[in-house]
A and B are shown apart, each in its own frame.
Chain A
Amino acid sequence: MTAPSLARATALAPFRRPRRRRLLRLTRRGLLYGVLVAGGLIMMVPFFWMVITSLKTRAEVFGAAPLSLPSGPHFENYANMWNAFPNDVTFGTFFLNSLKIAILCTAGQLVTSSMAAYAFAVIPFRGRGPLFAILLATLIIPFQVVLVPNFILYRTLPNPFSESGNFIGTQLPLWVGAWFGGAFGTFLLRQFFLAIPQELADAARVDGANPWQIFTRVYVPLARPALATLAIFTFMWTWNDLLNPLIYLNDLDQYTTTVGLAFFQGQHVGKWPEMMAGALLSLLPMVVLFVVAQKYFVRGIALSGLKG
């Protein structure tokens, strides 16, 4: 409930006196704030643990309690992790690879899923229901079993530009698929498109707009929260994907951050400080994306032209 409407609502309550009303509101607000902040701090505990671990020495990680503060900020952990790899490959290389693939996937999903969602939600056509069901069904099979058939597929498809003659050993399998629709994105956006009143589309249709124009001028702007949500999820899942880069990539300089970080867990008792340093750096783009995308959650939807 936003502040103005709360004010309006309480303003209309007939039997409350002004001063007590304000006190009540402030207490409620304060309590809410307090609970949220406390909860937020609890949520941040692993993150906080990552930060302090990345600044400790290995001895401190095991010798002292997990949440104890480091003796001094050991930034060399970051440097060690950055330079840990041979052949001029640094953590930065992995970072850039991850960034590139995640952006490509997110863009692909936003475009193709929204198009498909529009078709499923707004355009009546025969076979719509069953087709949507099939799309949804693809979510259910765990990827562990589809991994091998997919691999075989990418190995069979010819690719004249790659060393192997097919898609294995390139980064292509990691993002090309995202440009061919996705069940999650389509489902999510379909829900949002369904919730947009038909009157708007009808009005545009009456004005002579074709479906593409209705899509781009009416639906997409209104579905910004959903698009922002999809962007966050797609980016996050692509960024955190470990198995696919591992299976399809062979060259160290093509690896992503997930694969690079996995090496630090190689020791029986891992190099926690360096690993957490890497994990923290990995985390940053997603947090930035989230903070930026929040604006789309907050911006209310102004439904201009709606006639009651």
Chain B
Amino acid sequence: MRTFRSSRGPRLLAAAAVASLLVAACGGGASPAPTTPISPTSGPTTALPSGEPSASPAGGYSGPEAKISYAIWGDPAELKSQQAIVDAFKAANPKIDVDVTVSDWDAYWDKLQTGLAGGAAPDVFAMDGPLFPDYQSRDVLLDLEPMIDRDGYDLGQLADQGVADFTAADGGQYALPRDLNTVVLYYNKTMFDAAGLPYPDETWDWAKLVEVGKKLTKDVDGDGTVDQWGFYTETTDMENYWSSLVWQNGGDIVSADRTKTLLGTPEAAGGIQFLQDLIWKEKIMADPALFVETGDAFEQGKAAMESNGSWLVPTHTAAAGDLGFEFGIAPLPKGPAGRFTSVNPTGAVVYKGTKSPDAAWEFVKYLASPAAQEQLMKLKASLPVSKEVLAGPYATSFEGARVLADSLAYAKLKPSFAGYNEFTTILQGELDANVFLDPKKTAAQALADVVPQLDAILAGQ
């Protein structure tokens, strides 16, 4: 029944890739411990099997035998990768048995909510950043702060945005991030070479994007219609481009306290207007309706540049190989107010009603540990959350990885607040119908029309 998945899914692949590269980098048993100190536990530590690459406190579990269930969304490649992580964890912690359950993205939430409603929720499950407040505010997640303090776990070893996204207003920490995704500019090197144009770099701004985009928008087969566009992005979710545009123009999406929306400001409207103009005024991007059904124009070799997420690296690599082009990764062009991009973490949360909180916490820690992150890194689809890995092995793991790693420095968190789904349904409905698919209204008009409803949703939470 649920068939199509949003663009967030493949992030997992990325995370898996990242982590697995980490494992490879760490190598044999004598690796220097990452900044996590060995946790002082109350009982004797179980001896680590030899050859364990990580010195993370995975062996610190001293509780009773436990069985925990771990639910994720993903596709077969991610599933295999997560299963490998789970197997490694079980080897390091013989007393804890972990069962992985996987669903596709759309159905994952249905299953999770049904389970939570019926009191049969998994012990550990994956949580998407924007949806976190909805779950945390409804008191179904376990606050990990006591265990963090007890074990002296250093949250500073993990990417700041990743940790912040799962910190509640009252200061409690409800998840450890598991992987991150940011948005960057992909470009088709072959097309650029053919046109004799220099590749995008960090000097680019909006004007430059338009200028180069125009040069790369052409009618290749001479039939009178444009079939190669300079630029492509998805318009159906803010993450792919337009949230970054809003920030680059000096605006924001919701207020800091998440009680009202800031989309009614001229700055926010200006950002979205830029995207509408790319499609309908500068015409360097195709009418979104043309690619909505067929998929990513960049992967089809029909667009020279694309703003999209790091989760697409594996599929872009495959497509480039199939179609015979090379691609590169550059930072998003800067806007009038500076350089910004979007970052969205996926975290591992613990169900409040779990029967084995200590075992679950042990597993959550493991997921963020270098060992697991190296396994994830192998899939090349998301950024690792461990700062050391980001700066070290990940940055050199594939071409363009450094750009991704560096993008965290100027990345803002994807907006996350209670009522997120309802909010974005109304917002995207308006933007898609009247701004992107059909320029019936300017961005400012459309936003003005919809801001009262959005404020009502935020107020009602």
Contact = CB atoms under 8 A, between A and B. Distances in A.
A269 B10 CA distance: 10
Interface string A251-274: 110000001001111111101000
Interface string B97-117: 001111111010011001101
Nearest to A168: B120
Given A155-B119, A252-B102, A268 B311 contact: yes
B83 A87 contact: yes
A246 B322 contact: no
Interface in A131-174: 147-148, 151-152, 155, 164, 166, 168
A268 B296 contact: yes
B315 A168 contact: no
B5 A269 contact: no
- Residue from A87, A166, A242, A246 having most chain B Cβ neighbours under 10 A: A246
Given A62-B295, A148-B114, A269-B315, A250 B101 contact: yes
A265 B75 CA distance: 7
B103 A63 contact: no
A85 B118 contact: no
A66 to B, nearest CB: 9
Interface residues of B, number: 49
A268 B318 CA distance: 13
A246 B4 CA distance: 16
A263 B74 contact: yes
A77 interface: no
A246 B3 CA distance: 13
Interface residues of A, number: 34
B225 interface: no
Given A168-B120, A246-B103, A251-B99, A62 B9 contact: no
A62 B118 contact: no
Contact of A62 (B84, B117, B294): B294
B7 interface: yes
A268 B110 CA distance: 19
Contacts of A263: 74-76, 79, 102, 104
Contacts of B322: 57-59, 62-63
Contact of A266 (B78, B99, B100): B78
Among B69, B79, B118, chain A packs the most CB atoms within 10 A around the CB of: B118
B137 interface: no
B138 interface: no
A252 B80 CA distance: 12
B323 interface: yes
Contacts of A243: 1-2, 107, 110
Contacts of A58: 318-319, 322
A251 B97 CA distance: 14
Of all A-B residue pairs in the complex, the 5 with the closest CB atoms, nearest first, are A59-B322, A266-B75, A84-B76, A262-B104, A269-B295
Interface of B: 1-5, 7, 9-10, 13, 69, 73-80, 83-84, 99-105, 107, 110-111, 114-115, 117-120, 294-296, 299-301, 311-312, 315, 318-319, 322-323
Given A147-B114, A252-B102, 11 more contacts: A59-B319, A62-B294, A62-B295, A148-B118, A164-B120, A242-B2, A263-B102, A265-B5, A265-B75, A266-B9, A268-B296
Interface of A: 57-59, 62-63, 84-87, 147-148, 151-152, 155, 164, 166, 168, 242-243, 246-247, 250-252, 259, 262-269, 271
